[in-house]
Chains A and B, each alone.
Chain A
Amino acid sequence: SAVISQKPSRDICQRGTSLTIQCQVDSQVTMMFWYRQQPGQSLTLIATANQGSEATYESGFVIDKFPISRPNLTFSTLTVSNMSPEDSSIYLCSVESGGTYEQYFGPGTRLTVT
């Protein structure tokens, strides 16, 4: 299993500003995933972050809006840039187990944009 922490746990931000979310894993992992969960909706994959290479973004998500850093095998950041109220969501960091396909998730960052 993996233990994942995220900072901040929640924040209220003004439109036009940016917020950087940190994700720390207690073990080394190759891939880290960033998800968004909008109110009442499913978990949507934003991007996959590999250490030492550019993140891979899903359709509908772009690097200019959601830049990701992956400086080492236990840490990643996601920045939500130039925020609008539509960015109000829970943002989740996740890793996949080594031997099976189950994923472990951080507690999430609840973002409200006013």
Chain B
Amino acid sequence: DQQVKQNSPSLSVQEGRISILNCDYTNSMFDYFLWYKKYPAEGPTFLISISSIKDKNEDGRFTVFLNKSAKHLSLHIVPSQPGDSAVYFCAAKAGKSTFGDGTTLTVKP
């Protein structure tokens, strides 16, 4: 049973437009959510996080939204840049972290 799901394996957007990456979870015990970015041949790097007591967290071009009733979170990147092209993983914590399968974002110039 996969507790954290990223249903879109890939996403392609034009430079300057908004990228929206989605993540769904099933375990209501998750109390902290994180997004990581991974470039080829590198380990994942932390991007942004949100506590379950909040519904939005913003850091520059990156905003994470949390809808607890729907058990859904999303990452918005505005404006998207070619350097944002990477694999994005969402993770949810209830003690240890559980990761989604990742979404490959391609930002076209």
Contact = CB atoms under 8 A, between A and B. Distances in A.
Contacts of A48: 96
Interface of B is mostly: strand
Interface stretch (B11-19, B38-46, B77-85): B38-46
Contacts of B96: 45, 48
B99 A42 contact: yes
Interface of A: 4, 40-45, 48, 92, 94, 100-108, 110
Interface of A is mostly: strand
Contact of B101 (A42, A100, A110): A42
B46 A102 contact: yes
Interface residues of B, number: 20
Interface centre among A94, A100, A103, A104 (most CB of B within 10 A): A103
A102 B34 contact: yes
B101 A41 contact: yes
A42 B45 contact: no
B88 interface: no
